[in-house]
Structure 1
């Protein structure tokens, strides 16, 4: 039930007391009541708006929570994938280092075999 916002009877009473004809006072009162009803927000209007805004924010909050969960899941998957790739890279790097070490050792052994051995000491 809406509360009385504009007392048309009191408005007409004051206008006629000030000398305005009753018909003009009634017309002006009706127009004033219509303007107030259409243009001004009541406490009930604001309460309804607050409820709608709260509902919208509730949906937004829910959406943000779901996005955070989804991003957390995606981050965990990306982190695991990165760990796997780093592990493979480490294995590849170790294999290369061992291969280079063996190649270097083979080259040194080959070079030592090619060096002439001198039996006479000077």
Structure 2
């Protein structure tokens, strides 16, 4: 993850100016900085999975198109074999 700049000193100053005890403000600032550092996702963090998903989607579309093309070839081949079989059977029974 990328890091964000969090001014803990300024945060503590604002809290103490608002009436919070300095020790409590320092603990809150420390925990806030820890949360931002370890848990907050930024645009760069979110962009990477989007790129991976787009690439995966492109690959899946190519595989689906390939499978569809192969299926069409198989069905066409089976239809031609069936037509040849019907023609052979008609010729066989017509001659009998």
The TM-score with structure 2 as length reference comes to 0.71
Which whole-Å CA distance do the structure 1 matches of 2:19 and 2:53 have between them?
52
Which whole-Å CA distance do the structure 2 matches of 1:44 and 1:37 have between them?
14
Which whole-Å CA distance do the structure 2 matches of 1:19 and 1:81 have between them?
84
For this pair of structures, how many residues does the alignment match?
A: 95
Task: Give 5+ residue unaligned stretches, structure 2.
Answer: none
Match of 2:62 in 1: 65
Asked which structure has the greater RCO (Cα within 8 Å, sep 6+), the reply is 2
Which whole-Å CA distance do the structure 2 matches of 1:39 and 1:12 have between them?
21
Offset of residue 98 of structure 1: 4.2
Match of 1:29 in 2: 29
Match of 2:72 in 1: 75
RMSD in angstroms over aligned alpha carbons? 2.5
Task: Give 5+ residue unaligned stretches, structure 1.
Answer: 100-122
Which whole-Å CA distance do the structure 1 matches of 2:70 and 2:18 have between them?
75
CA, structure 1 residues 77+21, in 2 after alignment: closer, same or farther (shift >3 Å)?
closer
Offset of residue 89 of structure 1: 1.0
Which whole-Å CA distance do the structure 1 matches of 2:20 and 2:74 have between them?
80
Q: Which has the larger radius of gyration?
A: 1
CA, structure 1 residues 43+61, in 2 after alignment: closer, same or farther (shift >3 Å)?
closer
Offset of residue 12 of structure 1: 0.8
Which whole-Å CA distance do the structure 1 matches of 2:81 and 2:44 have between them?
60
Which whole-Å CA distance do the structure 1 matches of 2:22 and 2:34 have between them?
18
Which whole-Å CA distance do the structure 1 matches of 2:63 and 2:10 have between them?
56
